[in-house]
Amino acid sequence: MATHDVSFEIPQKFVLAKDVEFDIKSNGSKIGTLLISKGNVEWIPASNSVKKRRLSWEKFAALMETQGKVARIKK
């Protein structure tokens, strides 16, 4: 099973004009960067720093509903 490392940088308390950036690694190799903002979620693959993938929050929610693995919430 792959091990995953997630690191992030928060520029301020609230997400405004600056994205919150998450660097995602699998088995020590970077697989991409996740950018979270007020308006959308974006993915920059490690192999391509020129083009990114963007989803609105509504489309992200729909994707998670249809493609996401169901897991219990731990309380």
With a cut of 90, say whether residue 54 has pLDDT above it: yes
Instruction: Report pLDDT for 4.
Output: 76
Average pLDDT over every residue of 38-60: 91
- Provide the CA 17 distance to its chain's centre, in angstroms: 17
In-domain check, residue 75: no
pTM: 0.75
Total domains present in the chain: 1
Give CA angle at 65 (11, 20), nearest 5°: 5
For 36, the domain range is 4-67
Per the model's pLDDT, the better-predicted residue between 33 and 75 turns out to be: 33
In this prediction, residue 70 carries a pLDDT of: 94
Give the model's confidence band at 11: pLDDT under 50 very low, under 70 low, under 90 confident, else very high: low
Q: Is 74 part of a structural domain of the chain? A: no
For residue 42, give the amino acid letter: E
- The mean pLDDT value for 47-58 works out to 90
Residue 10 lies in a domain: yes
What span, in angstroms and rounded, lies between the C-alpha atoms of 59 and 57?
6
